[in-house]
Structure 1
Amino acid sequence: MTTRRSPLRRPTATLGVAAAGAALALFATACGSLTTDDSAGETQTHSIEEGFHVGLLLPELQTARYEAFDKPYFEEALENLCPNCELSYANADQDVDEQQTQAQAMLTAGVDVLVLGAVDSEAAAGTVNEARGQGVPVVAYDRLAQGGVDMYVSFDNFRVGQVQAEALVGALEEEGTAGDGQIVMINGSPTDPNAGDFKAGAHEIFEGQVEIGQEFDTPDWSPDEANSQMEGAITSLGLDEIVGVYSANDGMAAGIISALRSAGVSVEDLPPVTGQDAELHGIQRIVSGEQYMTVYKAIRPEAEIAAAMAVSLATGDDLESGEHTVTEVEDADGVMVDSILLDPVAVTVDDIADTVVSDGFYTIEQICTDDYADFDFCKEAL
């Protein structure tokens, strides 16, 4: 399989990842056919034997997962399913216009199927419509783009918010502070439809259990903005009133914890802070006691499913879900999209070994560097 990047964006380095032990065994296909009239916007049928051209567009570099895991996992899965396929890749670095330019370049270059992790789900409708007008099917990856995509794979994002909130409420109950103060909610980017689902799921759990003192939406999932928001919450509410912080992801949790530490809070006195994505630094903060939890989303199966969906759409073959349930998700335009939603997992210090380590996401050596070797988790693991 040949891999190339969009010529319109300077390549970025792909980080190394631990090898996974499980082989790709997700889907079986059965032969089928589609009408082939590309000029009329009808999807062409391609064969695995001859190969075809797949475009992968990912949304941002702020979160480490896309370059470190999603891209290489997708590339590996496509290689396994279609060795003669060509892959073009680009990351928009959170720039809506850049992603539209990248998509246009791929469509001009003749990609046969597009896998799209949208920067902005509403703005992505133009790209989706243009692709489908050229007979190029679209898989929405991780974020449900508007415009009528053909298939969608992600996690149960409402459940992600519930998992985060359940963990935070549990931590407050364990500390006996659930009714003693207020929490701060720092949500994700308003242009990311997943962020709204995370927030809605969290609110369902928080209702009647905790008091939300301040709540923010965070443009571009920016840790710096989250840091400023937390500083404002500290000024407004007072440190003594803040018993916990809902952070929608690990990157923002870093900014939040930095604000608390700058305000004079010791590691031992930090309130529980949530996260998401199981970033390495997030896991290390959990080891050190700075961050309470993260949400682990097994990215490998998500990327493998996306590759299988791309192959199914390009070849016209049936997609069989195996162990995964195919459901329908309604997009913002009321279009029902065939979807597979994976389950998120809460990770505290007690769960690290049985999740990110056992799955090969990180090794003990990656987590327990010199700065973390003296913490209990690393003492027991090394």
Structure 2
Amino acid sequence: MGLGVSLRAVKCRSLIRVSVAVTVAAGLALTGACGGDSGGGGGSGGGDDSLTVGLLLPGGGASRFGQFDRPLIEKRLKELCPDCPAANVAATLEPTVQRQQLDAMIARGVDVLIIAVVDPTALRSSIEAAHRAGIPVVAYDRLAQGPISGYVTFDGATVGRLQGEGLLKAMGAKANGGQIVMMNGATIDPNAGWFKRGALSVLDGKVKIGKSYDTVGWRPENAYVNMTGAIAALGAGNIDGVLAANDSLAGAVISAFEATGVRPLPPVTGQDADLPAVRRIVAGEQYMTVYKPFKPAADAAVEMAVALGRGETVESIATGTVDSATTKDIPAVLLPSVSVTVGNIKNTLVKDGLYTINQICTPKLRSACDKAGLTP
């Protein structure tokens, strides 16, 4: 059972110092944590009370992981341990690089890992190595393979269902018998299949799927090529909607349509509430996105990690269990998502402090923002 996997026998006294041991890029060495050179790796700190947390994300910079997940995780760690040094993040889209980063953290001897895997299969052996080293692993956002001890994510079936429902609503009369293109995520990401199944639960029997693509690496440039091919094969005027699995793919889909000069654009879905996507929604280029409140996810992942690092269970944090391809009954937190269209941006994204109206409403969008009720 996942709950019992790799629990560390760390006996914490008056102060637990938490730090994030990470690399800035693939080739950089891990920095020391607040306990000096000794910490981690089976509690061999020789009396050191520090608790080091390794954090690996599949994106940084302008990605949602860089913009939202990273600072929220860092903030929660600091709340749990005010005296700990600032956190850094190891981030990459490349499975081989992420594996190197994970192996480096194991070698450094972190006490617990939080990881959003790029490729669960490629990382499995490294997660098994972490288990052998006595390092519990919390899978974040994406379900990892191997002996993980906890999992925090958003319900992928709900995400896909919200996308499918939004697309059908936007298609209007064409929702019965119209033709769509599905721009799915990467097959190596288990969430992509989860989103797709959720969407199909709504779309099956309602629309014709003219083309369906699995986007290698979730890369927009691949989605652009695929969408260009779909337009050539089906005809731009014969595509009544596009189910794009996230906002980056949605942006590429829209760019492919714009290159044809066809107007108006068919409705396009998205996910993650990226700022460029929110602006496209205001401009009428993208119909909707799925907003996943990142703070509850970051909080739950950090709380699981700290509990596991202290040798405690996560029963009071988990809301249920899930099974991976390798591990049964993994303690899990599955969080809800929210559909966002132009009509509820203010009551969702702005209300939650994700963006300000001034961030969304560039001078070019001022008129559209006024029409949408997005006024300071």
TM-score tier (shorter): 0.7 to 0.9
- 1:61 positional shift: 4.1
Q: Which residue number corresponds to residue 261 of structure 2?
A: 264
1:122 correspondence with 2:117: no
Q: CA RMSD in A?
A: 2.3
Match of 2:205 among 193, 204, 208: 208
1:326 correspondence with 2:319: yes
- 1:316 positional shift: 2.1
1:309 correspondence with 2:275: no
SS in structure 1 at match of 2:249: helix
Number of corresponding residues = 345
> For the structure 1 residues 84 and 53, does the alpha-carbon distance in structure 2 shift closer, same or farther, using more than 3 Å as the test?
farther
Q: Which residue number corresponds to residue 276 of structure 1?
A: 271
- Is the 8 Å Cα contact of residues 22 and 105 (structure 2) preserved in structure 1? no
- Is the 8 Å Cα contact of residues 21 and 110 (structure 2) preserved in structure 1? no
Which whole-Å deviations, capped at 9, do the CAs of 1:322-367 have from their partners, x for residues lacking one?
7xx6111110125221100000110000110111110011111110
- Please give the residue correspondences for 1:24-173 in structure 2 after superposition, counting only pairs within 5 Å: 44=43, 50-61=49-60, 64-85=63-84, 89-173=88-172
Q: Which residue number corresponds to residue 356 of structure 1?
A: 349
SS in structure 2 at match of 1:338: strand
SS in structure 1 at match of 2:222: helix
- 1:84 positional shift: 4.2
C-alpha separation in 1, matches of 2:24 and 2:366: 43
1:6 correspondence with 2:23: yes
> How much identity, in percent, do the aligned residues show?
43
Partner letter of residue 193 of structure 1? P
Q: Which residue number corresponds to residue 14 of structure 1?
A: none
- Please give the residue correspondences for 1:237-256 in structure 2 after superposition, counting only pairs within 5 Å: 237-256=234-253
Q: Which segment drifts farther, 220-229 or 368-377?
A: 368-377
Name structure 1 gaps, 5 residues minimum: 12-37
C-alpha separation in 2, matches of 1:158 and 1:343: 10
Q: Which residue number corresponds to residue 36 of structure 2?
A: none
Q: Which residue number corresponds to residue 188 of structure 1?
A: 185
Which whole-Å deviations, capped at 9, do the CAs of 1:192-248 have from their partners, x for residues lacking one?
110010011111111111111100000111111111111111111112211000000
C-alpha separation in 2, matches of 1:265 and 1:63: 29
C-alpha separation in 1, matches of 2:75 and 2:44: 23
Q: Which segment drifts farther, 81-90 or 211-220?
A: 81-90
TM-score, structure 2 as length reference: 0.86
SS in structure 1 at match of 2:139: strand
TM-score, structure 1 as length reference: 0.85
C-alpha separation in 1, matches of 2:366 and 2:207: 35
Which whole-Å deviations, capped at 9, do the CAs of 1:307-330 have from their partners, x for residues lacking one?
0000110112343647xx611111
C-alpha separation in 2, matches of 1:75 and 1:367: 25
Q: Which residue number corresponds to residue 280 of structure 2?
A: 285
- Is the 8 Å Cα contact of residues 19 and 77 (structure 2) preserved in structure 1? no
C-alpha separation in 1, matches of 2:131 and 2:22: 22
C-alpha separation in 2, matches of 1:109 and 1:50: 16
Match of 1:177 among 167, 174, 177: 174
- Is the 8 Å Cα contact of residues 54 and 87 (structure 1) preserved in structure 2? no
- 1:371 positional shift: 2.1
C-alpha separation in 2, matches of 1:219 and 1:94: 11
- 1:380 positional shift: 3.1
Partner letter of residue 228 of structure 2? E
- Is the 8 Å Cα contact of residues 161 and 199 (structure 1) preserved in structure 2? yes
C-alpha separation in 1, matches of 2:19 and 2:304: 19
Q: Which segment drifts farther, 200-209 or 101-110?
A: 101-110
C-alpha separation in 1, matches of 2:129 and 2:183: 35
> For the structure 1 residues 92 and 363, does the alpha-carbon distance in structure 2 shift closer, same or farther, using more than 3 Å as the test?
same
> For the structure 1 residues 379 and 329, does the alpha-carbon distance in structure 2 shift closer, same or farther, using more than 3 Å as the test?
closer
> For the structure 1 residues 153 and 87, does the alpha-carbon distance in structure 2 shift closer, same or farther, using more than 3 Å as the test?
farther
C-alpha separation in 2, matches of 1:66 and 1:184: 27
Which whole-Å deviations, capped at 9, do the CAs of 1:41-75 have from their partners, x for residues lacking one?
xx6499xx933111100012487111111111000
Match of 2:367 among 368, 371, 374: 374
C-alpha separation in 2, matches of 1:309 and 1:249: 27
C-alpha separation in 2, matches of 1:147 and 1:140: 10
Partner letter of residue 153 of structure 1? V
C-alpha separation in 2, matches of 1:333 and 1:307: 23
